[in-house]
Structure 1
């Protein structure tokens, strides 16, 4: 098993909540603070109430997890693969299920399966598989993330330039055809029109900038059109300069926007991420994994659209040394937020659960230990290491 050096296999136990009415631990994260002597009353897969121990019925069935920290399950909004599966190669119900189950032991009880830039037919199969699994057994899958194909080839990273293209109305048709909800799309603002961004937002899509070479002015025009996110801030975008603030400068100037970060210590220097969090605050910073098939798999290496990706010391790279996603889990992201970025456990958890849920408009369902939220829970130690994952699926 590897832990903070780049997760390959998980140690967290998975259990269901069906046998217990009340769940407690040494500390519960309630409204951003640690509460002691409190319990969660769980019924029908949801948190019915949060109450102090003296209000619990004497005959209540209680499970006490012990002297650790009970927090909301993590929500990873950028998962390219896991368990040996790359979703571009398996845009099917089976592929979605295997990836979701691979990430569950790491505390990821909610996720957005992510499709890297690909042919439209693959995008369509991906959308269909999501609809099928939602009607069968939704597990942890809360929506979809299309990373591309409307990107800037100059900042393509490992995305296949052959599949990068200009905006097309048939993406809007795809949304209508499958009735997709909670969709996130990463695009280059300079490669699409403001009208297209407005149309996406009107269709309920969350729009983020990424793999872009946009200027500050182009990005702010996109923000005014409805763009609210920035995908893996600093990566695959121009640097912020004194006379050319660019995409990053726009992210800092748009106070209501959200920035996702890959806190693996390789994609961005920790000092830079510390400054980003100080600017955006944990209320608008989201921890993501950008996870590849190696997470939750015994085989670290994999093939990405015909190119071999090697995983060494937690880094996924091409033969030319280009980073290709990451080998970290959400457990790693939280632990590194604490150890590398100096964030508190409670703020690290917020960036892994509440903040992404709010960004995707799902904070009324997940991301908080509050009444009417799903009872998807993570029990962890003070270092952020997952001890147990408690779910209803």
Structure 2
């Protein structure tokens, strides 16, 4: 089916285009052209002046829509997460598994692989957040499941590199050889939940680590004599996800990180079951998390992920942090696509690119999402 999206301000990943239409043919973008050039034979869908942009890409999503990836490993849950994401403009995501035992890790890998192969949803591959982390910087993760990476489990990860897109680990608790082996297998290594020194982080980066997980949160920070992991991220210009929900990171720190990392800073939600769901509490790997005024909190006051959606993160970037709309949109689409080296197919509105788009009005309310050419209006 071919159709044209019209009467929108089109952000193509580079600039805003007015009086342009986007023509979709099956699962691809066929053309971006002046509206007057659209053939009358093509069905037109009027977006009523909304902003049309590339679909958002979330590289850290623990759950949403009332469910978590942990605890119920099923295609049903992954598809529910995908459908919930579409309501807030996210067309692709890395389902993120929180620290758990080996058996559940193996189940999650098998289910995610099956989901990718058979369902064709927005699942870009599994993100393992743990279990090879620092207990000092564990955050909400279960201390009883945090453990060392041994040779047997390293080989297991390498053997399943096709399904594991990314792994978050603490560099002080693995070897440079481990990081190098994971990287060479095609698994993206991200520094997170770590109390490493600047030197330990730098050694891991030299071995292949190229990402940082939820920048500033659960990692050693900058002091006068010790730059810590945050300093290493800035100094080595890693890709870094950041949670812009008004609770995890101060607006001034977000602006600072943006100036230092530029296009390598991208938005993540770190979303939990509370995102896109009206619930008061949920289970987070055996711990009850209360949802209070949109904040997810454990019984000891520790933040337990977020209730954030990507369109809300973009709105916060514009209205609270002070970033431009176009740069905020890049942080939600083009930059994460570039981080995964898939910006030749996602992250732009351009002929030949995959038809994954989102549209929202001046109040940052979603009006339409296109997922692999399939259109959903709200």
Given the two structures, how large is their TM-score scaled by the length of structure 1? 0.91
Label 1:125 to 1:367 Cα distance change in 2 as closer, same or farther (>3 A): same
Are 2:213 and 2:240, in contact at CA under 8 Å, matched by a contact in 1?
yes
Q: Which residue of structure 1 aligns with residue 246 of structure 2?
A: 265
Give SS of 1:135's match: helix
How far apart, CA to CA, are the structure 2 residues paired with 1:173 and 1:40? 46
Q: Does 1:75 align with 2:75?
A: no
Deviation at 1:129, TM superposition (A): 0.5
How far apart, CA to CA, are the structure 2 residues paired with 1:170 and 1:335? 45
Q: More displaced, 377-386 or 300-309?
A: 377-386
Deviation at 1:383, TM superposition (A): 4.6
How far apart, CA to CA, are the structure 1 residues paired with 2:300 and 2:13? 46
How far apart, CA to CA, are the structure 2 residues paired with 1:120 and 1:62? 51
From 314, 338, 343, give the equivalent of 1:358: 338
Q: Does 1:46 align with 2:28?
A: yes
> How many residue pairs are counted as aligned between the two chains?
373
From 158, 162, 168, give the equivalent of 1:180: 162
From 278, 281, 291, give the equivalent of 1:298: 278
Q: Which residue of structure 1 aligns with residue 232 of structure 2?
A: 250
How far apart, CA to CA, are the structure 1 residues paired with 2:210 and 2:363? 31
From 73, 80, 84, give the equivalent of 1:91: 73
Label 1:293 to 1:150 Cα distance change in 2 as closer, same or farther (>3 A): same
Q: Which residue of structure 2 aligns with residue 343 of structure 1?
A: 323
How far apart, CA to CA, are the structure 1 residues paired with 2:242 and 2:327? 14
Matched ranges for 1:128-167 at <5 A: 128-167=110-149
Q: Does 1:321 align with 2:311?
A: no
Deviation at 1:175, TM superposition (A): 4.5
How far apart, CA to CA, are the structure 2 residues paired with 1:182 and 1:33? 34
Give SS of 1:379's match: strand
How far apart, CA to CA, are the structure 2 residues paired with 1:236 and 1:178? 27
Q: Which residue of structure 1 aligns with residue 200 of structure 2?
A: 218
Deviation at 1:90, TM superposition (A): 1.1
How far apart, CA to CA, are the structure 2 residues paired with 1:81 and 1:236? 19
How far apart, CA to CA, are the structure 2 residues paired with 1:180 and 1:171? 16
Are 1:216 and 1:247, in contact at CA under 8 Å, matched by a contact in 2?
yes
Task: Select the structure with the greater relative contact order (CA < 8 A; seq sep ≥ 6).
Answer: 1
From 264, 271, 277, give the equivalent of 2:258: 277
Q: Does 1:373 align with 2:337?
A: no
Deviation at 1:64, TM superposition (A): 2.5
Q: Which residue of structure 2 aligns with residue 6 of structure 1?
A: none
How far apart, CA to CA, are the structure 2 residues paired with 1:289 and 1:84? 15
Task: For residues 234-280 of structure 1, give each alpha carbon's deviation from its aligned partner in whole angstroms, at most 9, with x where no partner exists.
Answer: 1001221121111111111113x211111111111111111111211
Give SS of 2:271's match: coil
**Unaligned stretches of 5+ residues in structure 1:** 1-17
Deviation at 1:313, TM superposition (A): 1.3
CA RMSD in angstroms, aligned pairs only? 1.6
How far apart, CA to CA, are the structure 1 residues paired with 2:150 and 2:9? 50
**Unaligned stretches of 5+ residues in structure 2:** none
Q: More displaced, 127-136 or 72-81?
A: 127-136
Deviation at 1:292, TM superposition (A): 0.7
Are 1:287 and 1:352, in contact at CA under 8 Å, matched by a contact in 2?
yes
